[in-house]
Structure 1
Amino acid sequence: MSDATSHAPAEGARSTDSGLLPRFLKATELDTRMLGMIGALVLIWLTFHLLSGGLFLTPRNLWNLSVQSSSIAVMATGMVLVIVTRNIDLSVGSLLGFTGMIIGVTQAELLPQLLGFGHPLIWVLALLVGLAIGLVVGALQGFIIAFLSVPAFIVTLGGLLVWRGAAWWVTSGRTVAPMDATFRLMGGGPEGAIGATWSWIIGIVGCAALVLALVSARSQRKKFHFPLRPVWAETFLGAVGCAAILLAVWVANAYPWPVGIVRRYFEDRGLEVPEDVFIAHGIAIPVLIAIGVGVIMTFIATRTRFGRYVFAIGGNPEAAELAGINTRWVIMKIFMLMGMLAALSACISTARLNAATNAAGTLDELLVIAAAVIGGTSLGGGVGTIAGAMLGAVLMQSLASGMILLGVDTPLQNIVVGLALVIAVWLDTMYRRRIQ
């Protein structure tokens, strides 16, 4: 009798301990798939850091990684909505190349003849032309898919070939350079970053926005009598989120301008070059563009009627149509949005290279789709997050960057990317079976 009594507390303690993690996840409402992806990203970073002799987790490499991920992350936000509705877009890489070439020709050859070289509106007009071309191409493909009932796979596969050929046709294979000086800021680099002071300001604003979002969400839950997260869980999420934002700012500010650029900066201004001067890059402009797009797309997906329609169509297209949703028009608008995002990515890529090339965007469609799927977007439709897709873009670029540091050949890099995509889809299939 005494033995049974003495063992009871120990068994109860083990039961309590075993339930600690589930209770924590339930209280904080953290997405286990997102946590798994973050864990995989951290593991990839640590592995490459060790194998590269400590070169991966450096401010320089992480800053470059963020810039390189930007164009893929921008397109991945649109690909989420495409895949959520059980469609696919294989043409985004070719569309990036085509719109990038149009943008390059517009600002390097056409507008200077009309407005004169160095006119301040050249880059603005070139950007608007590129976005308009992306919108029109997206509308054309969306119309064929939605209203002519041609499968998205076939339409966008044709687009992959058509727009890649069109990119060559615009200049007969020529590379167009250089780009407008202001336009080049969209590509990053020492001048295409906002510096240490503004980076800290944006970091603080980001933390304030995060706290405000948590408070607002709690207020809305209370207003509609929804279950509330414990105060400690809200505090934990706010603290971790703010710490991540400030850590990212610190890393961006820890990467200084190269010595040659610092010297030229002071010489151009007739100043003496000081010794041991440290000028921080700060957050790169393309990264800010990607973050801005991510915030806007998250709002569209979660806070607008259009976003609700998108997920309703993905969950059950027949029921959505019976409910009165104009599914064809919604799908067409998704492809129009995807076209504009591809054009914006073209601006980032073209500005970063300071040239429009026919090879721009080659195989980017695979990276974008992989980023969305690895980020938790289900190919079965109805499930996906913008933040997950952007994190997936960072993960895919981390694989590429790490293998380049290790001197891995390009064919083997493609093998690794292909395997990552297959594994992600397999994990998604297993997850859907488990929750059904």
Structure 2
Amino acid sequence: MAEQTIAAPSPGAQTERGNPLRRFLNATEIDTRLLGMVIALFAIWIGFEILSGGLFLTSRNLWNLSVQAASVSVMATGMVLVIVTRNIDLSVGSILGFVGMIMAVTQTRFLPGWLGYDHPMSWMVALSIGIALGAAIGAFQGAIIAFMNVPSFIVTLGGLLVWRGAAWMVTSGATVAPMDTRFRLMGGGADGSIGATASWVVGIIACVLIVLSILNSRRQRKRFGFPLKPVWAEYFMGLIGCGLVLGSVKVLNSYYMPTNLARRYAEANNMAWPDAGLEISLGIAIPVLIALGIAIVMNFITNRTRFGRYVFAIGGNPEAAVLAGIKTRWVTVRIFALMGALCAVAAAISTARLNAATNAQGTLDELYTIAAAVIGGTSLAGGAGTIAGAILGAVVMQSLNSGMVLLGMDTPLQSIVIGIVLVMAVWLDTVYRARAK
């Protein structure tokens, strides 16, 4: 990071000198919309902390919030690609419910007879079947949209009804439980967390990756002759990124197992139980790691692959994309297949967390997923959206839900608040894009 850059004078140089904030944002290249969302999220947290009498920003609530946001976060990453191409998917909640029911039935009724009860491979077989089924459903809906020219709104609205009904028909509405012990790890909880030491290791690895990413970005800019960020800006972004990661790990490690679970854990591991008890950190929950891993992969797909470039090209100008030789119909099918596979992963997280599959599972998740993507900056007009914004949008949505539950607000009032937030997010997106023109 020893290179120095000399900025060429520009017509707005005098204005930039007189505006330190603008100079800072330009130097660090911070996405102002993403920054605004972060500020809004902190404002929501502080507001609920005050209104709840100090209950919101506890390590326990923040740990639960991270786990509860995982399934919607996973689906929101796929919804970004769907909306970027000017489509919509209203069926994701129903697909989650149907695939979750199939995975539950598979591991409770079929696999025990084939592999034996609680076989080490049961969870892998059930998860593989679920992902394959979800991808097939998504591809089927995508093919209808792409090759039969039926609007995605209508196809997925039909899917919302069909797959919800199919979930009921699998067991005639009966709840299926319990799940395989290894499968349940994907849902979090005391067993589905990696502990304090492993969490610090994950945090340190993440910090190393952040630094390497900054160094690689600087090297690529220099290689292709692009302007370089000031060295202080690189250090600043690295410190902020590592600080957020390690701070999050610290908060999650501050949540300890409840006494009864800690005593059971001590007995299982032949640990002495002192009079004062044991403080055993849960650390990062496995569903959170799954969501973050999928977010990284999806970010790579959207920004570093030909498929990702095709997606944004179609959303920006569908006619030009066709003229450029992009097979837009097959891209659409792949997008919806990917969305279906992500619904299956979310179904596994949700089913594992509940340790059961119910007919109501995933109800209204389609609205929360769309809201997360839109709040995160994905434009309903197509052509714009980010994976990081969708993840942040999911956290915002879950923060609102968690805060309202702590305040004891009735469910109808919660729905009113979520609806108002969604409308305001779309309105703000419209204003932002009008000013950007």
TM-score range (shorter-chain normalised) is: over 0.9
The corresponding residue for 2:277 is 276
**Which residue of 2 is the match for residue 10 of structure 1?**
none
Question: Which residue pairs with 1:364 in the alignment?
Answer: 365
Name the aligned partner's letter for residue 132 of structure 2.
A
Cα RMSD (Å): 1.1
Alignment of 1:10-409 (within 5 A): 18-274=18-274, 275-409=276-410
Q: Tell me how far apart the structure 2 counterparts of residues 284 and 256 of structure 1 sit (CA, whole Å).
A: 12
State the shift of 1:18 in Å: 4.6
**C-alpha deviation, 1:268, in angstroms:** 3.6
Paired residues in the alignment total 423
Q: Which amino acid aligns with 1:209?
A: L
Where structure 1 has 5 or more consecutive residues not aligned to the other structure, the ranges are 1-13
Three-state SS of the structure 1 residue aligned to 2:69 is helix
In the alignment, what sits opposite 2:10? none
SS of equivalent residue, structure 2 residue 180? coil
Q: Tell me if 1:423 matches 2:393.
A: no
Runs of 4+ in 1 over 4 A off after TM superposition: 14-18
Corresponding residue number in structure 2 for 1:8: none
Q: CA deviation at 1:16?
A: 7.0
Aligned-pair distance for 1:265? 1.7
Q: Deviations over 1:34-74 (max 9, x none)?
A: 01100100000000000000000010000000000000000
Task: Please say if 1:432 is aligned against 2:433.
Answer: yes
Cα distance in 1 for partners of 2:271, 2:394 equals 42
| Aligned residue number for residue 11 of structure 2 | none
Q: Deviations over 1:352-406 (max 9, x none)?
A: 0000111110000000000000000000000000000000000000000000000
Change (3 A) 1:15 1:387: closer
Instruction: Give the letter aligned to residue 62 of structure 1.
Output: L
Return the offset for 1:15. Answer: 6.7
The one-letter code of the counterpart of 2:336 is: F
Any unmatched runs of 5+ in structure 2? Answer: 1-13
Q: Which amino acid aligns with 1:66?
A: S
Identity of aligned residues (%): 66
Which moved further from structure 2: 54-63 or 258-267? 258-267
Work out the CA distance in 1 between the residues paired with 2:379 and 2:91. 20
In the aligned structure 1, how far is the partner of 2:269 from the partner of 2:94? 42
The answer on whether the counterparts of 2:93 and 2:366 sit within 8 Å (CA) in structure 1 is yes
Q: Is the 8 A contact 2:16 2:23 kept in 1?
A: no
Residue pair 2:33, 2:377 contacting (<8 A) in 1 also: yes
Q: 1:342: Cα distance to partner?
A: 0.3
- Partner amino acid, structure 1, of 2:213: A
Q: 1:242 to 1:269 in 2, by over 3 A?
A: closer
Q: Residue deviations 1:332-361, cap 9 Å, x none?
A: 100000000000000000000000111110
TM-score, scaled to structure 2: 0.96
Measured in 2, the distance between the counterparts of 1:244 and 1:266 equals 32
Letter in 2 for 1:373: V
Shift of 1:267: 2.7
Q: Which amino acid aligns with 1:395?
A: V
Distance 1:335 1:269 in 2: 45
User: SS state of the match for residue 193, structure 2?
Assistant: coil
Distance 1:269 1:240, change over 3 A: closer
- SS of corresponding position for 1:382: coil
User: 2:127 is aligned with what amino acid?
Assistant: L
Deviations 1:104-163 (A, max 9, x none): 000011111111102111111000000011011001000000111100000000000000
Aligned-residue offset at 1:276: 3.1
AA matched with 1:166: A
Comparing 18-27 and 271-280, the one that deviates more: 271-280
